[in-house]
Structure 1
Amino acid sequence: MVYQRDAVEALPAYVQGKSIPNAVKLSSNENPYPPLDSVVEVVRERAASISLYPDMSAHDVVERIAARWQVRPSEIAVGAGSVEVAAQLITASAGSGDEVMFAWRSFEAYPILVQVAGATPVPVPLTADDRHDLEAMLAAITDRTRLVFVCTPNNPTGAIVTRDEMERFLERVPSSVLVVIDEAYAHFDDAEDSVDGLDFFRRCDNVVVLHTFSKAYGLAGLRIGYAIAPERIAANLRRVAVPFGVSALAQAAAIASLDAEDELQERIDVIRAERARVLAGLRDRGWQVFDSLGNFVWLRTGASTTEVDGILRENGVVARAFAGDGIRVTIGSPEMNDRFLAALDGVPASV
């Protein structure tokens, strides 16, 4: 039998949010609105050149991102979505015998990526109100800890880490440990006391910030994300990146999206307003839900998760269920959200 790594064959596969006919898909945290016309036009113009390799350095989009955040281009590393950049970070920083820490439940790709790299995942349970337990994470750091992922707003619970919490956390994290502030959903976060990853990046030598164009910018199908990192770390990310991993179409669409941020903000504002309406609708129906600052809400359904998910599907709503834990529901268009809330009318809030 051909040899394959046992650790890989034992890995759970990453599960994509599913679709079913005649149902609304609220399972993947996708932007419910189509790309802006200006972005579509740029992609259409570039489509004629898909027989050619893209610029592997992603020079133009890197320059544009650097200008957007007022950092040096040498502090930017891109990849096929922020998840691929997270994989670069793990590959560059951790291997056999090393540990990578993250809250749990958080982004489900974290433990998979860590094990692919041959390192050891260290999940730290969330608090009772579904927030990062930073004190417990500090206590779990060992001399083998190489990275700590802090996802804020957290996927799938929507909870944030505040500025003051991160300040106290970083004061006590050893300088040899890389802290990755994953801000995939930061555009939807309108809390005044939320952590600003860029502020800590500018002040700390061991902080990296992850961003993506998949969510607020609506480019999930083109796959582009990036890290803002100290120059040495960013250079190592480029060394381990998949060659030509970010397509020319994705690079062009990202630049066009950055040029249209004011227009995109209007859509973000609509999603935020719909999130508030959905949370209010859940509470009106008796659900005890914590505030979410992402483009999704989290139902803590525990042992009833499979039952509730089944009822939603029967009513034409596909959400993201985590068996035995809860259900994450993306904020869609007003019509999609109405359908979700109506589907819950047949579910006792106490399940």
Structure 2
Amino acid sequence: MAQNRRQWLAQSGLALAGLSLWGKQSLAKEFGNNNHSSYRLPGNIIKLSSNENPYGPSPKARMAMAEAVALSNRYPWDTTTVLREKIASINQLKKENVLIGAGSSEILGLVAQLAALEKGNAVAADPTFRIWWTAAEKSGLEILKVPLSADKKHDLQAMLSRMNSQTRLIYLCNPNNPTGTVVDSNLLKSFIEEVSSKCLVLLDEAYIEYCGESSLCSMVSSNKKLVVAKTFSKIYGMAGARIGYALAHPDLIQQLNKLQPWENAGASAVSLAGAIASLDDNDFLMKSKKLNEEAKQFTIAELSKLRLPSIPSHTNFLYFSLKNYTGDYLQRMAANNIIAGRLVEPGDQWYRITIGTLDEMKHFISAIK
């Protein structure tokens, strides 16, 4: 079954025409609504391609963001400081350990640029989240790709062996995107302690709230070579608000600040207000995690019945193989108004699919049968 990229791009474009209408309809909803109702695109389109939380932003975040619109004529310097202090307090750090960016993607790009100030290479798993690769390569870093293990996990020993005297950065996405696998926090901590003596380490924890592993952000208090990238785009449901942050030693934060045109100024007043409120809405976070797990387990079970194997996932997406599938997957997705993830590994036809609501995943399974 060949991947039809043109078909996939056309399918993804289905959502564009109605985005303006969708935004107006979403804003018209009651901001204080505590129900975990999903936010659908117009035309009954189901989007399962970008690992977004179908239930977010949280009720508290929506209300705070609505109120912040009136203050958008002012620079949100004070609000930025409040968020940095709140993030620091939650993680038992100081605000000097926190850098705010327009999504964690900005953070990844900044770290890549910093590492590339001295030409060399960056070591990363393959496949993994690679949005930062282009910035790294254009800045002079060669990407040394290390295949995942047979069970689709980071092969830490192989990554260590791939490093050399020219290695400036090692990237770890935990849990890993697109496979959903996780590295034990104790193993990862030991690995980071070893390799950070040789180069910068970028730990991407975009999906850490979905899994049972602990964040390793406490390491930044003493480790001057570690950057932990985090985001409000995933479990907090604020992907469109574009706000994320880095946790690092103050000395390293200062180096990253110098690469920003205006330090900590990438997020809007509305996004900052939503992020602050999100951190106070633990009920929403827990419900999102519970609903995601229920929909994920349903999807895994149904794919198994169809003899379509999947990798145990610790995230809000699933990595599954269509090697044994005889239908036209993308055609069936398009026919059922589903925007699905692309092919990642052609060999055994590994795809990634976002976990939506239970109803959306039932529709997905019905479409794939």
Q: TM-score range by the shorter chain?
A: 0.7 to 0.9
Gaps of 5+ in 2: 1-8, 15-42
Shift of 1:282: 1.3
Contact 2:174–2:207 (CA under 8 A) maintained in structure 1: yes
Shift of 1:164: 3.6
Distance 1:180 1:174, change over 3 A: closer
1:328 aligns with 2:345: no
Partner SS for 1:232:
helix
Contact in 2 for aligned 1:309/1:327 (Cα 8 Å): no
Q: Which residue of 2 aligns with 1:6?
A: none
Q: Counterpart amino acid of 1:46?
A: A
Count of residues paired in the alignment: 328
1:43 equivalent to 2:60? Answer no
Tell me which moved more, 19-28 or 74-83. Answer: 19-28
Aligned partner of 2:97: which letter? E
How far has the Cα of 1:23 moved from its partner? 2.9
Looking at structure 2, the residues matched to 45 and 62 of structure 1 have their Cα atoms a distance apart, in angstroms, of 20
The yes-or-no answer on 1:282 pairing with 2:303 is: yes
SS of alignment partner, residue 58 of structure 1: helix
Instruction: Compare 76-85 and 256-265 and name the one that shifted more.
Output: 256-265
Q: CA deviation at 1:70?
A: 0.8
Residue 134 of structure 2 aligns to a residue whose secondary structure is helix
The alpha-carbon deviation at position 270 of structure 1 amounts to: 1.2
Moved more, 124-133 or 109-118: 109-118
Are 1:310 and 2:331 an aligned pair?
Answer: yes
Question: Counterpart amino acid of 2:46?
Answer: V
| Aligned equivalent of 2:237 | 218
Under a length normalisation based on structure 1, what TM-score does the superposition of the two structures give?
A: 0.86
Question: In structure 2, do the counterparts of structure 1 residues 286 and 305 end up closer, same or farther at CA, with 3 Å as the change threshold?
Answer: closer
Residue 130 (structure 2) aligns with: 108
Q: Distance in 1 between matches of 2:250 and 2:167?
A: 21
Equivalent residue in structure 1 for 2:275, among 233, 240, 254: 254
Kept after mapping to 2: 8 A contact 1:207/1:229: yes
Instruction: Verify: 1:245 aligned to 2:299, yes or no.
Output: no
Give every structure 1 segment of 4 or more consecutive aligned residues whose post-TM-superposition deviation is greater than 4 Å: 302-307
Please tell me the root mean square deviation across aligned C-alpha atoms, in Å: 2.5
1:174 & 1:293 partners in 2: Cα distance?
Answer: 26
Q: 143-152 or 263-272, which moves further after superposition? A: 263-272
- CA-to-partner distance for each residue in 1:36-94, whole Å, 9 max, x for gaps? 23222211111122233332992111011101111011011110001101111111222
Q: Which letter does structure 2 place at the counterpart of 1:178?
A: L
Q: Residue 201 of structure 2 corresponds to which residue in structure 1?
A: 179
Paired position in structure 2 for 1:342: 366
> Which residue number in structure 2 is paired with residue 209 of structure 1?
228
- Post-superposition Cα deviations, 1:247-298, rounded to whole Å, max 9, x if no partner, equal 1111111101011123322222211222122112211221111101110001
- SS of corresponding position for 1:221: helix
The C-alpha deviation readout for 1:291-335, integer Å capped at 9, x for no partner, is 011100012346989942333223332111135253211111111
Contact 1:17 1:27 in 2 (8 A): no
Partner in structure 1 of residue 155 of structure 2? 133
The answer as to whether partners of 2:221 and 2:249 remain within 8 angstroms in 1 is no
Whole-angstrom CA distance in 2 between matches of 1:195 and 1:257: 19
Q: Which residue of 2 aligns with 1:4?
A: none
Match of 2:89 in 1: 67
Instruction: Write the deviation string for residues 187-230 of structure 1: whole angstroms up to 9, x where unpaired.
Output: 1113xxx3532244356443221110011111111111011101
Aligned residue number for residue 12 of structure 2: 18
Structure 2 CA distance for aligned equivalents of residues 265 and 197 of structure 1: 21
Residue aligning to 1:235: 254
**Is the alpha carbon distance of 1:36 and 1:180 closer, same or farther for their aligned partners in structure 2, counting shifts above 3 Å?**
same
Distance 1:203 1:270, change over 3 A: farther
CA distance in structure 1 between the partners assigned to 2:282 and 2:135 by the alignment: 31
Q: Residue 177 of structure 2: which of 155, 158, 180 is its match?
A: 155
